[in-house]
Structures are given as structure tokens and as C-alpha cells.
Amino acid sequence: MKYLIVGLGNIGPEYADTRHNIGFMVLDYLAKKYDGNFDTGRHSFVTEIKSKGRTFVLVKPTTYMNLSGKAVGHWLNSLKLTADQMLVITDDIAIPFGKLRIRAKGSAGGHNGLKHIEQTLGHNNYPRLRFGVGDSFNKGKQVDFVLSKFSEDEQPELQTLIEKAADAVISFGTIGLERTMNQFNTK
């Protein structure tokens, strides 16, 4: 079985390790853990890892967040996979820092990367792992917040949360979406 795992983020050193790049951070961790090396692919950096008899194609779109659907559309078609064989990892300001939410489908919730994926696919019926980054920003400062690095208070917990999100990715491919939701969705 093969799965497409798309970690959302923006390319460039100015975006490295920001809240908006948590999808990239989770995929970087998975690639390192499973000896994957990212190469330049169509609209993305891409690598393949194997775990528990499954193949995971990890994709970090190079189109910037607002055009993430380009990479998604290309890789789903290229790999001949359906949307339910894909998991999109994204930041979410509506979820407290440290919480993970996995859903089979849902709205974009104002997230431009998810909006473009939905526009490209023509529907919102695809699994996503939403990584809570909190909402401690002043009115009108949302963009600055998601493009900022995690706070000093959040740093000690961050690596453990990235590892937990990576475990959820492997779980998605091995035990399925429903059981992964039951195991990893936190209250």
C-alpha cells in the first residue's frame, strides 16, 4: 500500500521553524527517522519512506502555502492515488498548542493552503492532521503569528509533539483513519 503525505509550509529560510511550517517539520522528522532524503520533484520536495510494509511518499510543496493544491494534484495523479490515500498536515490556530486533530474531511477554516487544495480537488473529502499552534495573537496579527517561531515556553514540548504527529502519520497508513483518529485525537 502507498500513501501520499503532504506537509504544508513555505520554502525559504525566513519561514523555517515557523508555526505555518509545522507540516514541513513533521515530514523532516519522518524523513530523518526512516533515512529518507528529499529531492526536488514537481512542485515540491519529495522522498519515499517505508514502514510496516507500507510506502509513504512525503511531499513538501514548493509552491508556497497559497498554491499547495498544485503539488497535491500532481502527486495524486502521478501516483494514481485517491484523496483518501492522502494525509495533509497543517497548522491550525483554532486548536490549542499541543493538540492534534485528525479528520476524514472538513472545511478549510480560513487556511489558504487547505483552500487551494479544496479548490484543486473540487471537494474537501480528504484526511488532514491539524496541528494546534494556538491563537495567542492580537486582533489583526494572525499572519504575523503563524509566520513566527514557536515561543520559548512551547519549545520544550515541540519535539515530542512533532514525534507524536509523525506516529499518527504511520498509524494512518497501517491501522487506518478511524483507529488513528481514536488513538491520536486529543481533547
Task: Kindly give, in sequence order, each residue whose CB lies less than 8 Å from that of residue 5, ignoring residues fewer than 6 positions away.
Answer: 27, 30, 56, 57, 58, 59, 86, 87, 89, 169
Other C-beta atoms within 10 Å of 5: how many? 26
Query: Is 20 tagged catalytic?
Result: yes
Catalytic residue among 20, 43, 111, 116: 20
Buried b (16+ CB within 10 A) or exposed e, 37-66: ebeebebbbbbebeeeeeebbbbbbbbbbe
Cα maximum dimension of the chain: 47
Q: Which residues are catalytic?
A: 20
